[in-house]
Structure 1
Amino acid sequence: MTISFENQVAVVTGAGGGLGKTYAKMLASMGAKVVVNDYGGSLKGETGGVKNQINPADKVVNEIKANGGTAVANYDSVENGQTIIDTAIKNFGKLDILVNNAGILRDVSFGKMTEKDFNMVMEVHLKGTFNCCKAAWPHMVKQRYGRIVNTSSASGIFGNFGQVNYSSAKSALLGFSKSLAHEGAPKNIFVNCIAPIAGTRMTQTVMQQEMIDALKPEYVAPFVCYLSSKECEENGGVFEVGAGWAAKLRHQRSAGKFFPVNFTTNDVAKHWNEVTNFSNIEKNTYPDALNDSLILVLNEVLSKKGNQPTNNTMSYKIFKMFEAYMKSNPEETRKIVHKVGCVYEFQIKKNRVNPPAFFYTMDLKNGAITYDQSKTPDAIFTMTDDIFCDICTGKTNAQKSVQNGTVKVKGSISAMMKYNKDIFPPITDNMLAQELSKAVENYANGGSFTSSGPGNNDPMINMRKTLKETGLKSANMIEQIFDQMSTPMGQKKVEKVKFVYQLDLMKTKDSKPVSFTLDLKSSPVKGFMGSAEKFDAKFSMTDDDFMNIMTGKLNPQTAFIQGKMKIKGNMGAAMKFTPDLFLTQSKL
């Protein structure tokens, strides 16, 4: 494969010497028409050059022309990025490649650094790159092609003494480049960032002469030219390049430590090694995008909601019932407090393998239920959600569960002996089968429940009529989704997802939600009005925002970040729920 830049136009800033000069000459030698930009100022960026002295950009242009290439000079500061890009359009009619290389140094220790020292470096490196990209962007978007190479440095990645200003600008360019890469990808505009290691006028202040001689700019230029080519499909990358060596950088995240919601400073100190330890290779992760960075934390946070369980767990429903009973029956509560007089903490696990995910405190000294850990528990019980449910409904004997190890206990033996399922009125499966609000209301009234299970109120009955009665704008769309799921083709499209989704849609932000369930776990898959008995992910938003997401007017990720769409449950499941999963563009 022979890479050529024939019929392509490149702009290289800061190309009067060093790396920029080498980039410009190599691009021109491979067929590109090049705009050689150089302000001609000092290393500190204080002047436009020496009077009567030829601008460095002109020298480079002359060298390119002498070798049979095509180039024009531009003498603007990158503060005037629009003028630099206009030079390319005026002379060559288009722009394909932008290499942002211009820079200055004002190295000084932080204590002696002036505001001017900081602002000038930021203005040239960060704002200058922004100015040039901003001016180039419309041209690249229009032709649906572009390659942008931005310049960071090792100082921007790792920091360096005496370069707070320079490091700040170069570090900011990493985030700038990665974000711009996301926006450019659909338009075939690829943006990458390099941290070059080369002997130039700028590195003379921090390198010995022998190193400068060994680290020639010519050892970096081929890499930059490849990133500038149509053959390169890399986008959003960060690379260290120098002395013929090139490597891609990525983020590494330790396994970390999840703390309970009421953790203290002392807890942080106690577990600091877990936070900072990278030795557990199997649990280390390498986030490469915003979603990668968020998913681990969101899965934990959303499953706990600040260590408060969501209403799809039986333990949460049971404790809500206990709480309502005590509030509605103060006389009975006083009797319980007088009889027991202990504080119990319950640590509930999703399964036997994972650590506790849900925490409850049953304060039978004061007659209260809270959804967190107790600071002064008399006894602590640890078990899975299903074991807790079985104990409360009488299916499992608590004492035997302790003996066989399915329930772990800590604390006062006498406090443990006082706790049993008969403290509160009995709970049955029929009670737990009811919706949370109904179960809580009935239990608060003394435990009087009807025998009707959830099956007596089938949400599929008169579904179409009920849909129209909701008054939602998206009613027809929901009906289309249900209809599509009932077809062989629709079922085939979604059956591999294997998750249950609940949609809570509101006419306005403050109105009562209308719930829909899309059960992609069942066989066949099904959709119905009403809440899911147990969901993997739940989405809450206004009717308008749902319509905008499903029709492509609103990006789901943007909706989540802006708080327009709230998610509960498993983030991995949520990520698989996409508009094109149900409706084709033609139907919309």
Structure 2
Amino acid sequence: MSNPKLRFDGRVAVVTGSGGGLGRCYALLLASRGAKVVVNDVGTTVTGQSQNFATGSRPADLVVAEIRKAGGTAAANYDSVTEGEKIIEFAVKQFGGIDILINNAGILRDVSFRNINEAQWRDVIDVHVNGAMRCAKAAWKYMEKQQYGRIVNASSASGIYGSFGQANYSTAKAGIIGLTSTLSNEGKKRNIFTNAVAPIAGTRMTETVWSKDLVDMMRPEYVAGFVCYLCSEACTGTGDIYEVGANWAGKLRWERTAGCMLPIGHTLEDIHANWAKYGDFTNAVHPKDTLDSYQMVFDMFEEKYKVKSTAEAPTSKASPSSVTLSKAASSLKCAPILSSIVAQIAGPNGAAIAEKASFVYRVDILSAKGAQPVSFTLNLKSSPPTANEGAPAKFDACFTMLDEDFIAIMTRKLNHQVAFMQGRMKIKGNMRAATKFTPSLFAPPSKL
């Protein structure tokens, strides 16, 4: 019996560059399983040159005809992905929405790096990277509103490993991986899942570097099933990169050596003497995200230099289950969140919270820029952990931010890492302690 989550009835899919090759196979398979498909293709050569076609005979028209002949629903679109908003609006006008986006369109301008010119570089970046961004950006608002979306971006082995004579293409396809990771981070809480594939298939683009026998053997149909699975409700993975071809698929991950941390004041000679350690994968690690990556370094630094907490852990009476805030604290818009945090630390989950971040934190909230901060102490080091209004004598990490930004962070509308990088959340003290204190420690506030 067919799994309904592996069908696409009622779903609207846009497949860019689907007038032939991989894109055509994606469009045909999605349509065969119930999707309404926008077959997008500008009808150019693989190098982006214009071609003349009789009415109804453009590549997108021919694929639409195939779909309709098989009983499916499809519409042809000829806009360039560099104007991605036109493609998405076409889908919305034709079929009432957008649920699935496969960013497959691409061109080549193969040339050695020594001989590449500005136009050859710019054109490839514009189609692959900016095109994928513009299509995704236009679709994003619809996916956010409906709390559902599936995006698959086409990367390449060239973007992962590099390829001679393809500096422009390799750079573009590597950029697609970064775009995929960030869209995954921003979209997953809204049920928008984004993944990337590096297809291994015989197409017009691989004809430029593969033999005819190899192109004929590695059929694009052998990739389509996996890509369409990534577009389904059944797929819950996001932010992943897969190499796919010949009815095979494999997931990639980042791997980093344990590395080598040298003493403060080390010299270039010290680096040279330890060079082999930087490349020794014997005890390799696999960072999952930027926070995980940084945390590993913070932990090693703390261990190497025996960094100790600056805050003591006095034995304290438990926090009250409810707290009476001062007039200044009560006037903050985030007052209900602060009260909730105090209650959670004092409640039955307080020990579990403290176990994940056993430090003393100071949180300074400003009602407006330049205003006097309202301070809170969260002592997750004491037993039992406590929380109260007022600044601690000593702390491990201090967070300072505006009232509105604190609300956005705690309600998961603003990523805390983004807030830090944008300067909206200031941090001082022990960075290892700071990275342990995240909104996920606490249950999301039900209302303000």
1:577 Cα deviation from its structure 2 partner: 4.5
Does the 8 A contact of 1:493 with 1:581 survive in 2? no
Q: Which residue of 2 aligns with 1:24?
A: 27
Structure 2 Cα separation of the partners of residues 273 and 211 of structure 1? 39
Q: Do structure 1's residue 505 and structure 2's residue 364 form an aligned pair?
A: yes
Q: Which residue of 2 aligns with 1:297?
A: 297
Q: Do structure 1's residue 242 and structure 2's residue 245 form an aligned pair?
A: yes
Partner letter of residue 7 of structure 1?
Answer: G
1:469–1:177 distance in 2 versus 1, CA, 3 Å: closer
Q: Which residue of 2 aligns with 1:36?
A: 39
Q: Which residue of 2 aligns with 1:198?
A: 201
Does the 8 A contact of 1:78 with 1:131 survive in 2? yes
Q: Which residue of 2 aligns with 1:569?
A: 430
Structure 2 Cα separation of the partners of residues 478 and 28 of structure 1? 47
Partner letter of residue 32 of structure 2?
Answer: S
1:477 Cα deviation from its structure 2 partner: 6.8
Structure 2 Cα separation of the partners of residues 174 and 70 of structure 1? 31
- Which of 41, 61, 70 is matched with 1:58 structurally? 61
1:223 Cα deviation from its structure 2 partner: 0.5
Q: Which residue of 2 aligns with 1:99?
A: 102
Indicate the SS of the match to 2:221: helix
Does the 8 A contact of 1:11 with 1:85 survive in 2? yes
Structure 2 Cα separation of the partners of residues 515 and 498 of structure 1? 19
Aligned residues: 435
1:139–1:523 distance in 2 versus 1, CA, 3 Å: closer
Partner letter of residue 399 of structure 2?
Answer: S
1:512–1:543 distance in 2 versus 1, CA, 3 Å: same
Structure 2 Cα separation of the partners of residues 21 and 583 of structure 1? 44
Indicate the SS of the match to 1:541: strand
Q: Do structure 1's residue 187 and structure 2's residue 47 form an aligned pair?
A: no
Q: Which residue of 1 aligns with 2:174?
A: 171
Partner letter of residue 287 of structure 2?
Answer: P
1:261–1:228 distance in 2 versus 1, CA, 3 Å: same
- Which of 411, 424, 439 is matched with 1:578 structurally? 439
State the superposition RMSD in angstroms. Answer: 3.6
Q: Deviations over 1:142-180 (max 9, x none)?
A: 222111111000000000000001001111000011111
Does the 8 A contact of 1:151 with 1:173 survive in 2? yes
Deviates most, 572-581 or 518-527: 572-581
1:299 Cα deviation from its structure 2 partner: 4.1
Q: Deviations over 1:21-68 (max 9, x none)?
A: 111111112222211111111111021445679211111112222222
Structure 2 Cα separation of the partners of residues 19 and 433 of structure 1? 59
5+ unaligned residues in a row in structure 2: which ranges? Answer: none
Indicate the SS of the match to 2:216: helix
Q: Which residue of 2 aligns with 1:339?
A: none
Q: Which residue of 2 aligns with 1:519?
A: 379
Partner letter of residue 381 of structure 2?
Answer: K
Indicate the SS of the match to 1:231: coil
1:526 Cα deviation from its structure 2 partner: 2.7
Indicate the SS of the match to 1:220: helix
Structure 2 Cα separation of the partners of residues 64 and 478 of structure 1? 53
Indicate the SS of the match to 1:112: coil
Does the 8 A contact of 2:328 with 2:374 survive in 1? no
Does the 8 A contact of 1:215 with 1:242 survive in 2? yes
Indicate the SS of the match to 1:110: coil
Q: Which residue of 2 aligns with 1:391?
A: none
Structure 1 Cα separation of the partners of residues 21 and 69 of structure 2? 19
Structure 2 Cα separation of the partners of residues 171 and 234 of structure 1? 20
Structure 1 Cα separation of the partners of residues 420 and 98 of structure 2? 36
1:518 Cα deviation from its structure 2 partner: 2.6
Tell me the TM-score normalized by structure 2.
0.85
Q: Which residue of 1 aligns with 2:16?
A: 13
Structure 1 Cα separation of the partners of residues 334 and 226 of structure 2? 54
Q: Deviations over 1:568-587 (max 9, x none)?
A: 3363674245376388444x
1:98 Cα deviation from its structure 2 partner: 1.2
Partner letter of residue 118 of structure 1?
Answer: W
Q: Which residue of 2 aligns with 1:288?
A: 288
Does the 8 A contact of 2:298 with 2:432 survive in 1? yes
Q: Which residue of 2 aligns with 1:379?
A: none
- Which of 204, 218, 229 is matched with 2:232 structurally? 229
Partner letter of residue 8 of structure 2?
Answer: F
Q: Which residue of 2 aligns with 1:266?
A: 269
1:102 Cα deviation from its structure 2 partner: 1.0
Structure 1 Cα separation of the partners of residues 236 and 341 of structure 2? 40
Indicate the SS of the match to 1:11: strand
Structure 2 Cα separation of the partners of residues 69 and 433 of structure 1? 66
Larger radius of gyration: 1
Q: Deviations over 1:521-546 (max 9, x none)?
A: 3333334545356x5x4123146455
Does the 8 A contact of 1:9 with 1:88 survive in 2? yes
Deviates most, 155-164 or 143-152: 143-152
1:489 Cα deviation from its structure 2 partner: 4.4
1:208 Cα deviation from its structure 2 partner: 1.0
1:189–1:579 distance in 2 versus 1, CA, 3 Å: closer
Does the 8 A contact of 1:10 with 1:95 survive in 2? yes
Q: Which residue of 2 aligns with 1:484?
A: 343
Partner letter of residue 247 of structure 1?
Answer: G
5+ unaligned residues in a row in structure 1: which ranges? Answer: 304-353, 359-384, 387-431, 435-453
Partner letter of residue 525 of structure 1?
Answer: P
Tell me the TM-score normalized by structure 1.
0.66
Q: Which residue of 1 aligns with 2:223?
A: 220
Q: Deviations over 1:543-568 (max 9, x none)?
A: 64556645666542223223432143
Does the 8 A contact of 1:192 with 1:236 survive in 2? yes
Q: Which residue of 1 aligns with 2:70?
A: 67
Structure 2 Cα separation of the partners of residues 299 and 70 of structure 1? 55
Partner letter of residue 575 of structure 1?
Answer: K
- Which of 79, 85, 94 is matched with 1:82 structurally? 85
Q: Deviations over 1:333-384 (max 9, x none)?
A: xxxxxxxxxxxxxxxxxxxxx54446xxxxxxxxxxxxxxxxxxxxxxxxxx
Structure 2 Cα separation of the partners of residues 72 and 175 of structure 1? 31
Structure 2 Cα separation of the partners of residues 466 and 60 of structure 1? 66
Structure 1 Cα separation of the partners of residues 329 and 97 of structure 2? 54
Does the 8 A contact of 2:38 with 2:91 survive in 1? yes
Indicate the SS of the match to 1:36: strand
Indicate the SS of the match to 1:181: helix
- Which of 268, 276, 279 is matched with 1:276 structurally? 279
Structure 2 Cα separation of the partners of residues 44 and 565 of structure 1? 48
Partner letter of residue 285 of structure 2?
Answer: T
Structure 2 Cα separation of the partners of residues 121 and 286 of structure 1? 31
Q: Deviations over 1:92-144 (max 9, x none)?
A: 12222111111111101111111111111111111111121122222222222
1:172–1:475 distance in 2 versus 1, CA, 3 Å: closer
1:572–1:216 distance in 2 versus 1, CA, 3 Å: farther
